[in-house]
A and B are shown apart, each in its own frame.
Chain A
C-alpha cells in the first residue's frame, strides 16, 4: 500500500505524520518527495547505501548543421528556444526536457546533453528504507527527482510506502500522489489552514483518491478546519492537540512514537484507520 501525506501549506506536520506512520508500521519505505526542503532524514538518520545524481536532457544545437528554419523554436511550447543571428539559444531553466525540438529538426542539428538538477539518497534506519530526493538550489522543477524516487522499485517491493509530499497542490504534489492508494490531508485549525485544506481536498477529489484528514496543533476554541471537514464530509482520522513537549522533541529530531507510548498508540490507531479507510 502507498500512503501519501499532503497539505496545502508548509509547517502543518506532513513530515511529522509521515515519519511516525512509517516508524510504527515497521518494515516501511519512507519517501521524501519534498525535494526542495527534504527533512524526514533528520528523524531517521539513515545509513546511506546509495547516492546518485539526477539529470535531465537539455538540447544542444550544432550551428554548422542548423539552417535557421526555426521549426524547433515554433515547436517549443515552453519558449525555451530562440534563434538569433545565425545560432540557436537554449534557455535551460525553461526547457522541460520533452525532446520535441530534436524530433522536429529536419537538419538533425539537435542532440541532447545531461544537466544535473539534484540527487537522491537511499538508506536504512533499522528496517525502514529512507528515500530522499534533493533538488539543487535555483532549479525550477523537482518532478524528475520525484519520478525517480517513486518509480524506482528497488526496495519498494512488498513494503508499505509512506510518501511525504511537497506542500501545496501543484504539479510536484500531483506527481507525488499519482499512484497513492490513500491520501492523508494534514491541516492546522485556523482559517488559513482550512483554506489550504480546501485546496488539497479539491486535488484528491479530482484524482478520486480515498482520503481522510489529520488536524494538527488543535487547541480549545474555534477550529475552522474541523468545520470544513464536517461541511465537506471529510473523515477526521485524528485530531492531535497542540503539545509543547511534542514540539520540543520534534525540534530535536526525535521520532515521537519512539519516545512516547501515548503517541505510539495514537499513530498505530491512525494507521489502522487509514488501512480500513482504504478498503472501503
Chain B
C-alpha cells in the first residue's frame, strides 16, 4: 500500500504542501515496510496544467492513496478515474498525517476546487 503526499521539504517532519499541483516534492510512503521516498515534482514550475502533470506522476508511481489538503478539478478527474482514493490532510507534519491515516482518522476529500489556472 503506497501513499502519495505533496511535501514542502524532503523529510517526514515537513509540513504537507498546501498545493497539490505545485508542491516542490512528493513523498511516496509504503505502509507495509515504512519505506519513504521523496521525489521532485517536475510539474511544480510548468506554466499551466500542473495539476494534470502531477496527477499523472502520482499514477505512474503507482500510489494507492493520495493524502492532500486540496485538489483542483482537473487533477481530481484524473485521480478519480484511476481509482486512487483521496483523503484530506489536517494541519501538521507529514508524519502526523501518515499516523492519522493508519488510524483511519482522515476524511475522504470531497471538496474539489475549480483550479487556480493561470491566465494565458
The residues of A that contact B50 with a CB separation of less than 8 Å are 79
Contacts A94-B74, A170-B119 hold; do A84 and B81 have CB atoms under 8 A apart?
yes
- Can you sample 25 A-B contacts with CB below 8 Å? A78-B47, A78-B48, A78-B49, A79-B46, A79-B48, A79-B50, A79-B52, A79-B53, A82-B55, A82-B59, A82-B78, A83-B56, A84-B56, A84-B78, A85-B83, A89-B78, A89-B81, A91-B52, A94-B48, A94-B52, A94-B117, A140-B120, A141-B120, A170-B119, A170-B120
From A73, A78, A79, A170, name the one whose CB has the most chain B CB atoms within 10 angstroms: A79
Interface check A248, CB cutoff 8 A:
no
Interface check A249, CB cutoff 8 A:
no
A residues lining the B interface (CB < 8 Å):
73, 76, 78-85, 89, 91, 94, 140-141, 170-171
Of residues 37 through 66 on chain B, the ones whose CB sits less than 8 Å from some CB of chain A are: 43, 46-50, 52-53, 55-56, 59
- What is the distance, in angstroms, from B75's C-beta to the closest C-beta of chain A? 9
B120→A91 contact, CB < 8 A: no
Of residues 72 through 90 on chain B, the ones whose CB sits less than 8 Å from some CB of chain A are: 74, 77-78, 81-83
Q: Please, which residue of chain A has its CB at the minimum distance from the CB of B54?
A: A79
The residues of B that contact A79 with a CB separation of less than 8 Å are 43, 46, 48-50, 52-53
The residues of A that contact B47 with a CB separation of less than 8 Å are 78
The residues of A that contact B49 with a CB separation of less than 8 Å are 76, 78-80, 91, 94
- What is the distance, in angstroms, from B22's C-beta to the closest C-beta of chain A? 12
Q: Please, which residue of chain A has its CB at the minimum distance from the CB of B43?
A: A79
The residues of B that contact A85 with a CB separation of less than 8 Å are 81-83
Given A78-B47, A140-B120, 11 other A-B residues pairs in contact with their CB atoms under 8 A: A73-B56, A78-B48, A78-B49, A79-B48, A79-B52, A82-B52, A82-B59, A85-B82, A85-B83, A91-B49, A141-B120
A76 to B78, CA, bound (A): 16
- What is the distance, in angstroms, from A132's C-beta to the closest C-beta of chain B? 22
The residues of A that contact B81 with a CB separation of less than 8 Å are 84-85, 89
The residues of A that contact B77 with a CB separation of less than 8 Å are 89
Q: Please, which residue of chain A has its CB at the minimum distance from the CB of B119?
A: A170
A76 to B52, CA, bound (A): 11
The residues of B that contact A140 with a CB separation of less than 8 Å are 117, 120
Contacts A89-B78, A91-B74 hold; do A80 and B52 have CB atoms under 8 A apart?
yes
The residues of A that contact B56 with a CB separation of less than 8 Å are 73, 82-84
A89 to B48, CA, bound (A): 16
Contacts A79-B43, A89-B77 hold; do A84 and B53 have CB atoms under 8 A apart?
no
The residues of A that contact B52 with a CB separation of less than 8 Å are 79-82, 91, 94
The residues of B that contact A78 with a CB separation of less than 8 Å are 47-49
A84 to B59, CA, bound (A): 7
The residues of B that contact A89 with a CB separation of less than 8 Å are 77-78, 81
The residues of B that contact A84 with a CB separation of less than 8 Å are 56, 59, 78, 81-82
Q: Please, which residue of chain B has its CB at the minimum distance from the CB of A76?
A: B49
- What is the distance, in angstroms, from A180's C-beta to the closest C-beta of chain B? 21
